[in-house]
Amino acid sequence: MGIAVETGKPLRECLGELGAVVAKFDFTFADAKKYLSDQTPDDAPHPAVVRRRARGPAAVIGPFNFPIHLPHGQILPYLAAGNPVIFKPSPMAANVCAKYAAAMQSCLPPGMFGLVQGGAEEAQTLCRDRRIRAVGFTGSVPAGKAIAAATVDDLSKDVALELGGKCAAIVCEDADLQRAAEMSAEAACLTAGQRCNATSRIIVDRKVLTSFLEKFLAAIHQFVPGDPTSEATRLGPLATDAAYKRYLRLIELNEGNWLKRGHAPASVDGKIGYYVEPAVVLFDDCEAASGATLSREEAFAPIVSIIAVDCEQELLHVHNNTAFGLTASVFTRSKQRFDHLAEHLEAGNLYANLPTTFSPSQLPFGGWKNSGNGRPGGRGFIRFATEEQAVQWGKDGFSAE
């Protein structure tokens, strides 16, 4: 309930987040056994071992949309690798993260886990501190670039960035259109679109455009603003005034053909908040879409650009012509077509007949280009929580003791 109250995230999503938090323990422990064990090469010229050593204190800077799950996915690997952790949560989830920190501190030795509350200034100060040896950040591109700039002079720091996205669902001519419509609508509206892997673009083969639009608009109309503390709510409010103003600015743009302009009701169920309705805009010309703000800027709100294309070349151009490369979904019945497109789509996480938001903890997670440096989350992150050390010795190099 605390996450819903502080961030406006629907309760049903909050319960799912807590389930993922619990599952992270088993995944992290399994990764520790796999990646932290010493390796003995059998083809080295001398006896040798490759081992992993703790980096030192790590700073984890968390977001508001998954205030526990996402930082937790970095905190656990750092701890399991022997690194003390200082957690700086989003100020929009300060209370629930303080409770999380207290629970972690009660189970760990003194000094292994600390909490720093605050905003951007505190995050910058923490990341610049010479004692911090690793930084894990989840958030916006500008904030990520600021952290990268603040730490660039300290080459001993490892900086893992999970940033934004302009994720697309690709609807091919042979797609199951009902499945594509329902999954894309949900992926656009989960957490009110405030996910880095939210579906904000849908690239559709023109041959099936009319039929897809009918199904998609019917699906997205089911997402209506509601009280986030109610289990029935599927679309909660935006989290901040800045996000609300950005939404209002974007839905007033004179770009494309608005199929559903969007609306910001003054109140919902008698409660005042940053409530918004989904907005849908159609671009019938892929070249016009390529230069449009609506199909390039990360909205972090339930605003979807639908772009019609006539051929595979247009499809790939539209998809890759963005500063981001996080997740993409391809809806097709052809495994051959999916495999072919996968060779050309610029995305760190690619799914067939699944939503762009389907990013399970069992897999690595990270993006290309401005979406980050490709390694911040999911399985295997523990590899970056340590330093690698290669040790070798001559066969007759030690004197007897």
Look over the chain and give the mean of its residue pLDDT values, rounded to a whole number: 95
Of the pLDDT bands very low, low, confident and very high (cuts 50, 70, 90), residue 186 is very high
Distance (Å, rounded) from C-alpha 347 to C-alpha 366?
A: 9
- Residue 147 shares a structural domain with residue 182: no
Model pLDDT, residue 375: 76
The answer to whether residue 103 is domain-embedded is yes
- Residue 56 shares a structural domain with residue 141: yes
Cα-Cα end-to-end distance for the chain: 63
- Residue 200 shares a structural domain with residue 239: yes
Beta bridge partners of 377: 365
Given a cut of 90, whether residue 395 has pLDDT beyond it is no
- Residue 153 shares a structural domain with residue 217: no
Beta bridge partners of 283: 307
107 among known catalytic residues: no
Among 395, 362, 291, CA closest to 28: 362
Given a cut of 80, whether residue 398 has pLDDT beyond it is no
Residue 304 is inside which H or E element, if any?
A: strand 303-309
- Residue 251 shares a structural domain with residue 307: yes
Domain of 33, in residue numbers:
2-163+372-392
- Residue 37 shares a structural domain with residue 81: yes
What is the average per-residue pLDDT within 170-181?
98
Model pLDDT, residue 377: 83
CB 167 within 8 A of CB 356: yes
Model pLDDT, residue 211: 98
- Residue 84 shares a structural domain with residue 120: yes
The answer to whether residue 363 is domain-embedded is no
Q: How many domains does the chain have?
A: 2
Model pLDDT, residue 378: 87
Given a cut of 90, whether residue 185 has pLDDT beyond it is yes
The answer to whether residue 179 is domain-embedded is yes
CATH number where 45 lies: 3.40.605.10
Structure confidence by residue, pLDDT tens digits, 58-111: 999 999 999 999 999 999 999 999 999 999 999 999 999 999 999 999 999 999
Beta bridge partners of 391: 49
The answer to whether residue 401 is domain-embedded is no
Distances (CA, A) of 357 to 131, 221, 361: 36, 19, 12
Residue 356, CB-side half-sphere exposure with 13 Å CA sphere = 34
Distance (Å, rounded) from C-alpha 126 to C-alpha 393?
A: 39
The answer to whether residue 92 is domain-embedded is yes
- Residue 212 shares a structural domain with residue 128: no
The answer to whether residue 87 is domain-embedded is yes
Model pLDDT, residue 401: 60
Q: Which residue has the higher pLDDT, 96 or 2?
A: 96
Active-site choice (127, 167, 196, 286) = 196
What is the average per-residue pLDDT within 174-181?
98
Which range among 43-52, 58-67, 284-293 has the greatest average pLDDT?
Answer: 58-67
Range with the poorest average pLDDT among 335-349, 354-368, 387-401: 387-401
- Residue 52 shares a structural domain with residue 146: yes
Q: Which residue has the higher pLDDT, 378 or 26?
A: 26
- Residue 316 shares a structural domain with residue 379: no
What is the average per-residue pLDDT within 184-206?
98
Structure confidence by residue, pLDDT tens digits, 239-276: 999 999 999 999 999 999 999 999 999 999 899 999 99
Among 193, 203, 175, 211, CA closest to 282: 203
Given a cut of 70, whether residue 400 has pLDDT beyond it is no
Dihedral (C-alpha) 188, 191, 196, 198: value to the nearest 10 degrees?
-10
- Residue 106 shares a structural domain with residue 59: yes
Pairing of strands 324-325, 368-369: antiparallel
CATH number where 329 lies: 3.40.309.10
- Residue 313 shares a structural domain with residue 182: yes
Model pLDDT, residue 290: 87
Among 290, 280, 285, 295, CA closest to 201: 295
127 among known catalytic residues: no
Active-site choice (162, 186, 298, 346) = 162
Structure confidence by residue, pLDDT tens digits, 274-286: 999 999 999 999 8
Model pLDDT, residue 163: 95
Structure confidence by residue, pLDDT tens digits, 335-354: 999 999 999 999 999 999 99
The answer to whether residue 366 is domain-embedded is no
The answer to whether residue 297 is domain-embedded is yes
Given a cut of 90, whether residue 125 has pLDDT beyond it is yes
Among 150, 160, 101, CA closest to 130: 150
Model pLDDT, residue 29: 96
In the chain, % of residues over pLDDT 90: 92
